[in-house]
Amino acid sequence: MKKQIVWTKHAEERQQQWQQRLGITREEIEQVLTAAQQIVAEDDVWVAQAKRGNGLLRVVFTEIGNTQRIVTLYWTNQVKRYWQEEPHER
């Protein structure tokens, strides 16, 4: 069953900023969320990650029941800092 994706106002604003800078679309963000190359746990949230260009697109989200709520998102060139060769199990 497909999960419902909910965007916070902050996440929508961040997506618009990144669209202007790097052309990152809402569809691309949702694609990372639904088909992430990797999902890692950080504190009390999940981070869906996908390599993009010479960096990493990170989508921070929470999961409640059948809903994935996008908290924030960003692109970083610090792939080695965030990419986990052995990610946590969900």
Per-residue pLDDT of the chain (90 residues; tens, 9 = 90+): 778 999 999 999 999 999 999 999 999 999 999 999 999 998 899 999 999 999 999 999 999 999 999 999 999 999 999 998 875 655
**Is residue 87 domain-resident?**
no
**Is residue 53 domain-resident?**
yes
**Is residue 88 domain-resident?**
no
**Is residue 65 domain-resident?**
yes
**Is residue 90 domain-resident?**
no
**Is residue 51 domain-resident?**
yes
CB contact at 8 A, 49 and 37: yes
Domain count, the chain: 1
Q: Specify the CATH number for the domain of residue 23.
A: 3.30.2310.20
Which pLDDT belongs to residue 31?
97
* Total-model pTM: 0.92
Which pLDDT belongs to residue 39?
95
Q: 44: domain range?
A: 4-82
